[in-house]
Chain A
Amino acid sequence: MSTIARKKGVGAVLWDYLTTVDHKKIAHLYLISGGIFFLLGGLEALFIRIQLAKPNNDFLVGGLYNEVLTMHGTTMIFLAAMPLVFAFMNAVVPLQIGARDVAFPFLNALGFWLFFFGGVFLNCSWFLGGAPDAGWTSYASLALDSKAHHGVDFYTLGLQISGLGTLIGGINFLVTIINMRAPGMTFMRMPMFTWATFVTSALILFAFPPLTVGLIFLMMDRLFGGNFFNPAAGGNTIIWEHLFWVFGHPEVYILVLPAFGIFSEIFATFSRKRLFGYSSMVFATVLIAFLGFMVWAHHMFTVGMGPIANAIFSVATMTIAVPTGIKIFNWLFTMWGGSIKFTTPMHYAVAFIPSFVMGGVTGVMLAAAAADYQYHDSYFVVAHFHYVIVGGVVFALLAGTHYWWPKMFGRMLNETLGKITFWLFFIGFHLTFFIQHFLGLMGMPRRVFTFLPGQGLETGNFISTVGAFFMAAATVVLLINIVISVKGEKAPADAWGDGRTLEWAIASPPPVYNFAQLPLVRGLDPLWLEKMEGKKELTPAEPLGDIHMPNSSFLPFIMSFGLFVAAFGFTYHQETAWGLPVGILGLLITFGSMFLRSVIDDHGFHIHKEEVLELEKKGANA
């Protein structure tokens, strides 16, 4: 937290965060709320593993198990991984491109609060009858059959709200990266993480609308008498599967491309080498994103699409292995000939390579349609996507947390504790998921709340449960590390000493305006270039002057809160009299605050040159 914030009272800090439009503080908000949801999803995972520790266990049975399973998946993907990725995008991308903020700071705040209220709404279901229980994929026939409580309605409405936030965030980053780059920061000089963010944002722009359409159909069917998924009335449930996976497969890349970006930064930094094959890395990223939209139906090989569709999607899916392989070898050759320093983030990056390769090769195996008939919906698939998402995305998020923590909060995390976290997590991860490949091949379907004795599945499941506890222990150590970091070592601007990109050129944490003078970028890894020429600072591209800043606003919070209220109203509008009025009231709050936003002129304010100079002096002394 900045020096100014520390002097304020708790109430003032809270108000500051509720109204902030500063990308750095929004990053904190994303990190904290994403982190809390990550803990929640992790707890749900532990419950799942406890239930499956032995055959015929009765810890979590039937419908309740399905609720926990659904919420584990939904929480981890939408409420943990996505916001944590957004946390790093917000914290780092404006700094990496040499900008003072994102293109639309107000929208940035709105995106966060929409995500936040969507997530809170979804989790309210636990206390209001029951959570969604149709799986995170919420296949239509089951979702419509789930009538015991409003769980699935919380899913459709909650995800619509938070999905809107994600879409807004994605558009914001597209515009930011296109328009706000510092002088000289051409596209082919952008750091890999910025490239990943750019491509990911494009994916979000195209992938989220199909999900929204599907969710609206499902909401119509459940709450407003629609028949989109009712075969008896001419509807079709397979349409849901297509809509969901047209979103769902690119979603995998929405998560994993930023992970690739994070690792690219870490490999280059701690190998003290420029990223090997930078242009082919960019090309591979774009290609993965493009192909990511061409392969969704490989999630549906057993639906009965026929051999032609299956064969086409099978081969298309395999081709993704090529650009991904290019990336793996480029990372290996970035380290080749380098001077590798094994910091905590580098531990994750190095461990990521074999872990992710494992997940990648099982991906190719799954792509072989005829063989997939065996893997599909078995624990083999569970093992595969956890290898990709945990071994890829979660490793990256943990690496990014350790790597950018000093930049975000101005304090170093403890390296010893960091390495303990890493080893516990790494061992736990492989212990949990490696054996699951074999459980699947041995005939264990996924999403089962129990298994019967005598089918050869006992040992594997027990080992898997033990592994989960290692990961839980790792998370506890990480939390301890975070708590004690408040009194930890202060981080200098170039916190790791080997920084290459622009974010390491300014104070940790950066001043509110980021760059007192926008830098002139003269090549890839601009800070490294300057350092190699013996300079300590960037070459400025503009004279020191007044800096224009946006005003804080409470409206994003209110707008999102309105939708939160509306969602409650519409969920209960069928059986209660208050439902519809509350729904309309919520929409009025949202549209009312949008109206206010349109009519109130907000020109922002200026930080004057003298203040900037003073702050810079303070920052240099701190």
Chain B
Amino acid sequence: MKKGLRNWRLFSLFGMMALLLAGCGKPFLSTLQPAGEVANMQYSLMLLSTSIMVLVIVVVAIIFVYVVIRFRRRKGEENKIPKQVEGNHKLEIIWTVIPIILLLILAVPTVAATFKLADVKPMNDKNRDKDTVVVNVRANLYWWEFEYPDYGIITSQDLVVPTNEKVYFNLVASDVKHSFWIPAVGGKIDTNTDNKNQFWLVFDQKATDKAGGVFYGKCAELCGPSHALMDFKVRPLPRAEFDAWVEKMQKAENPVVTDPVAKQGEEIFNKSCIGCHAVSPVDNRPEQARTAPNLAGFADRERIAGILEHNEENLKRWLKDPEGVKPGNKMTGTYGQLTEEQLDALTKYLMSLKVE
């Protein structure tokens, strides 16, 4: 009975916190609207710790307000000398022991969750199930590469994953340290220059629908002038659609261009861009050679350069003056000034890059 009462209290506190916090942020970005198992686990830890901490604050605040009002020096008390108290052992033991108990309540689920989130055994299994999705994430100065080693395909900037199952990640950085973060789906992990990190996430289907089909990903570690602009997008798909997408990607050949303007653009591309950018999702070059985002399926991307709305006008702006859009990026100055005509042709070509 007593235990039930306590649970009920805890539950109502939780409920209030949840209501308070859920009003915050957008479903495609906010950690307060968790969109998968990992984010859920972290969200409940947040609620638990916030509840305990609110409790602490309330206790302190009550004593605080009482003391500050009750014991102020009033008129006529200018010469009052209060009793000089040295301390009180009983009180001191109370405010040592109670915090320890509160911390234990928090520490146990924290440790459990920490171990659970670090469990990446299935991805390292030698005979891992063909259905276990593994993505190699490579962070570069202001863009992200996503390689699917089991399917032999590569994409960049837009991460495509199946919903409602564990997706495993290998993460590295190729230049400076970055950090991979999809706030709504789960906490971040650094991409280091020294070693490979591994973790997993789950993308919930319902939450995906609520977020409009796309989650926002961010770089969370200061990495240079355009750190703020190193965004990526995540498109979780139901398993069947994901499989179809993989198949399309695998079958995609080098794009065939028919339109004469686009043809002209292809020529420019092959002269100035192809040294860094691949246009086929099957790119067998070693990762050191892949120095720029893979542009296969570029026409279907969510954003230009990770940040601008996806339209021709913005693409021209980006091609014309990359430095103005993303300061410090590695494309600036790698090709000459483009004429309006060349810009039109290149834009036409890039916007024809579809994986169908």
Binding site for B on A (CB under 8 A): 61-63, 65-66, 133-135, 139, 141-142, 145-146, 231, 236-238, 271-274, 276-280, 302-304, 306-307, 310-311, 314-315, 318-319, 321-322, 325-326, 328-330, 332-333, 335-342, 350, 353-354, 357-358, 361-362, 364-365, 367-374, 376-378, 438, 441-443, 445-452, 454-456, 532
| Inter-subunit contact A368/B57 (CB<8 Å) | no
Q: How near does chain B come to A235, taking the closest CB pair, in angstroms?
A: 8
| Inter-subunit contact A303/B190 (CB<8 Å) | yes
Alpha-carbon gap, A115 to B117, bound state (A)? 44
22 pairs, CB–CB < 8 Å, chain A vs chain B: A61-B327, A141-B176, A273-B83, A273-B84, A304-B197, A306-B118, A329-B91, A333-B88, A337-B71, A350-B68, A353-B60, A354-B64, A370-B116, A373-B42, A374-B187, A377-B220, A442-B183, A443-B29, A446-B220, A446-B222, A449-B228, A455-B26
| Inter-subunit contact B24/A452 (CB<8 Å) | no
| Inter-subunit contact B227/A274 (CB<8 Å) | no
Which residues from B are CB-within-8-Å of A340? Answer: 67-68, 71-73
Alpha-carbon gap, A311 to B117, bound state (A)? 12
| Inter-subunit contact B71/A456 (CB<8 Å) | no
Which residues from A are CB-within-8-Å of B193? Answer: 141, 231, 237
Closest to A322 in B: B99
Alpha-carbon gap, A337 to B228, bound state (A)? 52
11 new A-B contacts, CB < 8 A, other than A237-B194, A278-B86, A354-B64, are A142-B177, A142-B222, A271-B71, A276-B87, A277-B86, A307-B114, A307-B118, A318-B107, A338-B71, A446-B222, A454-B26
Which residues from B are CB-within-8-Å of A454? Answer: 26
Which residues from B are CB-within-8-Å of A325? Answer: 56, 95-96, 99
Picked from B32, B53, B187, B222, the residue with its CB within 8 Å of the CB of A361 is: B53
Q: How near does chain B come to A329, taking the closest CB pair, in angstroms?
A: 4
Picked from A134, A278, A322, A532, the residue with its CB within 8 Å of the CB of B96 is: A322
| Inter-subunit contact B42/A279 (CB<8 Å) | no
Alpha-carbon gap, A374 to B188, bound state (A)? 6
Which residues from B are CB-within-8-Å of A307? Answer: 114-115, 117-118
Query: For chain B, what secondary structure do more than half of its interface residues adopt (helix, strand, loop), or is it mixed?
Result: mixed
Q: How near does chain A come to B349, taking the closest CB pair, in angstroms?
A: 27
- CB-based closest 5 A-B pairs: A373-B187, A62-B327, A442-B25, A448-B228, A62-B225
How many residues does chain B have at the interface if contact means C-beta atoms less than 8 Å apart?
Answer: 91
B202 within 8 A of A: no
Which residues from A are CB-within-8-Å of B228? Answer: 445, 447-451
Q: A-facing mask of B162-190, CB < 8 A → 1, else 0?
A: 00000000000101110101011011111
Q: How near does chain A come to B146, taking the closest CB pair, in angstroms?
A: 19
B85 within 8 A of A: yes
Which residues from B are CB-within-8-Å of A66? Answer: 222, 224-225, 227
Interface segment, B44-52, B256-264, B267-275?
B44-52
Which residues from B are CB-within-8-Å of A445? Answer: 181, 218-220, 227-228
8 Å CB contacts to A: which residues of B219-253?
A: 219-229, 231
B106 within 8 A of A: yes
B356 within 8 A of A: no
Closest to A142 in B: B176
Q: How near does chain A come to B13, taking the closest CB pair, in angstroms?
A: 15
Alpha-carbon gap, A376 to B46, bound state (A)? 13
Closest to B81 in A: A272
* Given A142-B222, A442-B29, A447-B227, A338 contacting B82 (CB threshold 8 A): yes
Which residues from B are CB-within-8-Å of A322? Answer: 96, 99-100, 103
Q: How near does chain A come to B234, taking the closest CB pair, in angstroms?
A: 13
Alpha-carbon gap, A277 to B64, bound state (A)? 17
| Inter-subunit contact A273/B221 (CB<8 Å) | no
| Inter-subunit contact A456/B29 (CB<8 Å) | yes
Picked from B61, B91, B179, the residue with its CB within 8 Å of the CB of A354 is: B61
Which residues from A are CB-within-8-Å of B91? Answer: 329, 333
| Inter-subunit contact B82/A442 (CB<8 Å) | no
| Inter-subunit contact B177/A336 (CB<8 Å) | no
* Given A321-B103, A370-B187, A335 contacting B177 (CB threshold 8 A): no
| Inter-subunit contact B71/A441 (CB<8 Å) | no
Picked from B31, B83, B110, the residue with its CB within 8 Å of the CB of A441 is: B31
| Inter-subunit contact A341/B73 (CB<8 Å) | yes
Q: How near does chain B come to A327, taking the closest CB pair, in angstroms?
A: 10
| Inter-subunit contact B216/A321 (CB<8 Å) | no
* Given A304-B197, A370-B113, A328 contacting B60 (CB threshold 8 A): yes
Alpha-carbon gap, A471 to B119, bound state (A)? 46
Which residues from A are CB-within-8-Å of B30? Answer: 441-443, 456
* Given A443-B25, A443-B216, A280 contacting B72 (CB threshold 8 A): no
B21 within 8 A of A: yes
Which residues from A are CB-within-8-Å of B41? Answer: 370
| Inter-subunit contact A443/B184 (CB<8 Å) | yes
Alpha-carbon gap, A59 to B25, bound state (A)? 26
| Inter-subunit contact B221/A441 (CB<8 Å) | no
* Given A272-B81, A339-B73, A370-B110, A142 contacting B86 (CB threshold 8 A): no
B307 within 8 A of A: yes
Picked from B95, B176, B189, the residue with its CB within 8 Å of the CB of A326 is: B95
Picked from B57, B95, B116, B327, the residue with its CB within 8 Å of the CB of A358 is: B57
Q: How near does chain B come to A531, taking the closest CB pair, in angstroms?
A: 10
Picked from B32, B49, B77, B177, the residue with its CB within 8 Å of the CB of A364 is: B49
| Inter-subunit contact B188/A302 (CB<8 Å) | yes
* Given A276-B87, A338-B71, A365-B50, A134 contacting B222 (CB threshold 8 A): yes
Alpha-carbon gap, A118 to B57, bound state (A)? 41
Which residues from A are CB-within-8-Å of B26? Answer: 442-443, 454-456
Q: How near does chain A come to B58, taking the closest CB pair, in angstroms?
A: 11
Closest to B55 in A: A361
| Inter-subunit contact B56/A361 (CB<8 Å) | yes
Picked from A273, A371, A376, the residue with its CB within 8 Å of the CB of B82 is: A273
B1 within 8 A of A: no
B195 within 8 A of A: yes
Which residues from B are CB-within-8-Å of A455? Answer: 26, 29, 216
Which residues from A are CB-within-8-Å of B42? Answer: 370-371, 373-374
